[in-house]
Amino acid sequence: MTTNNMYASSFSIAQKIGMALGYAAARIEALKGKPVVYEGFPKFDLTGKSMEELAAINIDCALAMANLLNQVLPHLNDYEATQVLSLLGEDAQHFLA
């Protein structure tokens, strides 16, 4: 896999997990009437980073969001959890353990 492909793939996976996490949080808020509060991932200075370093940051973010998503999924009903998993796609589902 080329460096550009590695970056694009890691970005795509992080983006899918982020969208699924956002959807899951919104559904929990709607179903339970309570806001979901979680700490954001620390900001990085991306200036001058190589594609390999950017891909590594994407993967770190994806893993952190997948960990949080694993904690959130049990609070959803089966239908909503299925909807969340369908947002991930096959490649991003591998990040959930």
What does each of the 97 residues of the chain score in pLDDT, given as a tens digit?
787 888 999 999 889 999 999 999 999 999 888 888 877 767 878 889 999 999 999 999 888 888 888 888 898 998 998 888 888 877 666 666 5
Q: What does pTM read for this prediction?
A: 0.82
The total of structural domains in the chain comes to: 1
Domain interval for residue 26: 3-93
List the one residue out of 93, 95, 91 whose CA is nearest residue 81. 93
